A and B are shown apart, each in its own frame.
Chain A
Amino acid sequence: MNALEKHRYRNAAAILAGILFTSFVVLQANSPQIGNPPVTSEFHGPEEVTRILKRSCYDCHSNETNLRWYDKVAPFSYKVAADVEEARKRFNFSEWDSIPKADQEGKLWYIVNMIDAGRMPLPEYTATHPSARVTPEELAILKNYVTGISQHYAAGDTARIAEKARAASVPKSINGIAYFDDYKNWKVISTTGRPDNGTSRIIYGNDIAVKALEENKILPWPDGAVVVKVVWNSQAPDAWGNVKPGNFNNIQIMVRDAKKFAGTEGWGFARFNGLDLKPYGKTVSFATSCINCHQLAKGTGFVFDIPTRPQH
């Protein structure tokens, strides 16, 4: 390399460094600011539970975000700001009491299950904030806590409901999935008891869904597979410990159509509440919260309640 070439390279390197430095400065100047709005209705739980949640969740899921200096450096600050914004939208411990009690319980179970599955706190967050990690002992404390707050049973006795309220016309979810009766002729693929929310369930699958299970072709499930879940409120256990279904609660339908429901991993969701089968969800975006939770069942094609055994 001659002197002229050396000089040229040096110049190019200097210009590149200049561009990078200017971009860095511009990014810093425009770096998003994360404010901490007032704490209006804070979460209240046992001290040991609150301590874990504060340390592991509050940086994103509260108005008490504690940014470290490196969280404020662009380009990382952009990602941090986006994460905090999304996290506060999902649930916010600083505005906890603004949501109904039943939703609070549901969210706490969801939180515990996200931690249990290793999806929360976000691995990229714990990599830079190792103190936010939840230890197995702490997870056990959280599991005990949610189990303790969820001992509820319905007083309803199925057998005493003489008259059924009937939906006037065929109820249809906002995404076009209509209620139908035919699932009663399908095979039961599983049945579940949910102490977390005091319900009992029977899960049916159509022929396509059952065949997919039989042939272990659920990653992904074939188009046309339909899974229906009928949910009752559980009655209190009888003298022998049998927990029987009480009042009908809701019916949930999952329809597989990879193209039509591409935005929700190929599954269309619908839920009809009460014996009058009131469709759940005011806008089609309701299904986003469905699939967010069903991400925990990614290994079984986003369906929670199928019969399984450990993979060998």
Chain B
Amino acid sequence: MKSLITFILAILALTACHDPRELTPAPETIFTENGLHVITSFHNNLTRTISVLYGNDDALANAGKERDAHTPGEVLKLITWDLKQNPLWFGSNINGRVQSVETVTVSAGPSGPVIGYAKDGNSQKASGNAVSGNAERISFIFAQRASVFP
């Protein structure tokens, strides 16, 4: 009797399982860039994240160069998603839900360019030392070089 119940439960559990290939679109993960261009993209298997860096015309022009100077007017946005296995292809990883949107802006100040940094997303308040953390993120974002497009 016990084994019969176990058997019935197992059958129920099996039929309740969703086919991993039965998917529905998740358009909420699509970022609306409002006139920004793709600069580059990268993924990280250690942090299980995947990112696309966007920028306006000025930012795109500077992202192709090997120098650290930045001109007022540049806007950069780094979108980071969860990285998940593509349910349709073993061997491919694809973006999942949006984790964060980081924005770096360069504006003119009285004694040279002023760099602004903002972060929206779930882990916004996680950073212990906000100022040094921001500086690290700003230089990381500035360090990205533009991908070559045809």
Contact = CB atoms under 8 A, between A and B. Distances in A.
Interface of A: 109, 112-113, 116-117, 143, 146-147, 150, 157-159, 161, 164, 167, 179, 184, 187-197, 200, 202, 210, 213-214, 216, 218, 230, 232, 237, 240-245, 247-248, 251, 272, 275, 277, 296-297, 299-300, 304-312
A191 B42 CA distance: 9
Among A157, A190, A304, the one with the most B-chain Cβ atoms within 10 Å of its Cβ is A190
B128 interface: no
Contacts of B139: none
A300 B88 CA distance: 9
Contacts of B27: 210, 213-214, 307
Contacts of A245: 40-42, 147
B148 interface: yes
Given A188-B30, A191-B95, 5 more contacts: A194-B92, A244-B40, A247-B148, A251-B150, A308-B25
Contacts, number: 172
Contact of B22 (A117, A192, A210, A310): A310
The A contact surface, by secondary structure, is mixed
Interface of B: 18, 20-27, 29-33, 37-38, 40-47, 50, 52, 64, 66, 81, 83, 86-95, 144-150
A311 B24 CA distance: 5
B52 A311 contact: no
Given A143-B90, A159-B146, A230-B149, A241 B47 contact: yes
Contact of A158 (B26, B91, B145): B145
A109 B91 contact: yes
A310 B46 CA distance: 24
Contacts of B20: 310
Contacts of A309: 23-24, 26
Among B44, B66, B86, B89, the one with the most A-chain Cβ atoms within 10 Å of its Cβ is B89
A158 B40 CA distance: 10
Given A159-B146, A247-B148, A308 B93 contact: no
Among B21, B31, B83, B91, the one with the most A-chain Cβ atoms within 10 Å of its Cβ is B91
A191 B92 contact: no
Among B21, B23, B150, the one with the most A-chain Cβ atoms within 10 Å of its Cβ is B150
B44 A188 contact: no
Contact of B23 (A196, A296, A299): A299
Nearest to A116: B90
Contacts of B30: 187-189, 210, 213, 307
Contacts of B44: 237, 240-243
Given A187-B30, A187-B33, A196-B91, A117 B21 contact: yes
